[in-house]
Amino acid sequence: MEEMGKYIGAGLACLGMLGAAVGVGNIFGSFLQGAMRNPSAAQSQFGNLIFGFAVTEALGIFSLLIALLLLFAV
């Protein structure tokens, strides 16, 4: 029963990686759409793009870490 709970918890933690993938797609899609509408402002927003990407990816990596901890450390 405890083993089953570990697998269910790890699977639920992996949903965070799905959210990160959707978030990264949304970030880059929105940047591309804005850059096509106003190309002169695209360069000034590139730092915000990279920051948003880094934060979103970090959340995905943290959820993977939680899943691995549930599977192998508990």
Task: Write out pLDDT tens, residues 29-71.
Answer: 999 999 999 999 889 999 999 999 999 999 999 999 999 999 9
**How many domains does the chain fold into?**
1
CATH number at residue 34: 1.20.20.10
Tokens 């083993």 belong to residue: 3
Query: pTM of the entire structure?
Result: 0.77
Q: Which domain holds residue 54?
A: 2-72
